[in-house]
């Protein structure tokens, strides 16, 4: 993913998440978890890796809206998964 694509995705994603206050805490938690703790000197970034595993070689052709919708779905899954873990299942 190039920088300009990343910015567009970020704006679309931020807008989609802002419309879902129920996901705000989960989004912040996931953003914190995805912050690199140290610089990597090689290999694909996590986001590039996830984009490729989700969309394959067509990742660059996926629209910002679709990516934003996918992030909202992912955050919903994270929220449910964390709630299940807290309940001890």
Q: What is the pLDDT of residue 9?
A: 53
Q: What is the pTM of this model?
A: 0.70
CA pair distance 68, 66, nearest whole angstrom: 5
Residue 53 pLDDT > 50: yes
More confident residue, 45 or 85: 85
40 confidence band (pLDDT: 50, 70, 90): low
CB 77 within 8 A of CB 24: no
């Amino acid at each position: 993913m190039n920088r300009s694509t990343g910015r567009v995705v970020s704006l679309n994603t931020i807008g989609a998440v802002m419309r879902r206050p129920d996901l705000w805490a989960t989004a912040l938690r996931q953003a914190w978890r995805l912050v690199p703790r140290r610089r990597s000197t090689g290999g694909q970034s996590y986001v590039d890796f996830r984009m490729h595993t989700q969309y394959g070689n067509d990742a660059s052709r996926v629209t910002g809206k679709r990516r934003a919708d996918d992030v909202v779905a992912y955050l919903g899954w994270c929220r449910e998964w964390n709630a299940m873990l807290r309940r001890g299942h």
